[in-house]
């Protein structure tokens, strides 16, 4: 049972990593738009992009924190399921 739970948790952490990577990719694309707006200013669009950048950054921070906490739980369960060999 615990081994199955550990496998499910590892799949979830993989999905969380994918979410984080998607958000980071969104930040990169937003930065490209912001850079383009330096040459062709549009105050309304600049404001929207700044807000979107902040929200995406906040999402990355939240997901990163969740990943770290969840990874600690995975590590603890892994130690129970697969205790280190005695030498």
List, as one string, the DSSP characters of 4-41. HHHHHHHHHHHHHHHHHHHHHHHHHHHHHHHHHHHHS-
Residues 32-46, mean pLDDT to the nearest whole number: 96
Q: What range does the domain containing 23 cover?
A: 2-79
Does the structure show a pLDDT above 90 at 13?
yes
Instruction: Report yes or no on 16 lying in a domain.
Output: yes
The total number of structural domains in the chain stands at 1
Does the structure show a pLDDT above 80 at 42?
yes
Instruction: Report yes or no on 86 lying in a domain.
Output: no
Instruction: Report yes or no on 50 lying in a domain.
Output: yes
Say what the pLDDT of residue 40 is.
95
Q: Are 20 and 63 in contact (CB under 8 A)?
A: yes
Does the structure show a pLDDT above 80 at 5?
yes
Q: Are 81 and 3 in contact (CB under 8 A)?
A: yes
Say what the pLDDT of residue 76 is.
94
Say what the pLDDT of residue 30 is.
98
Instruction: Report yes or no on 85 lying in a domain.
Output: no
Instruction: Report yes or no on 53 lying in a domain.
Output: yes
């Amino acid at each position: 049972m615990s081994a199955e739970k550990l496998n499910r948790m590892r799949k979830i952490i993989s999905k969380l990593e994918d979410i984080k990577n998607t958000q980071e990719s969104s930040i990169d694309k937003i930065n490209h738009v912001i850079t383009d707006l330096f040459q062709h200013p549009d105050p309304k669009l600049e404001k929207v992009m700044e807000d979107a950048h902040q929200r995406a950054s906040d999402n990355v921070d939240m997901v990163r924190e969740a990943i770290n906490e969840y990874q600690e739980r995975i590590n603890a369960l892994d130690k129970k399921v697969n205790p280190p060999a005695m030498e």
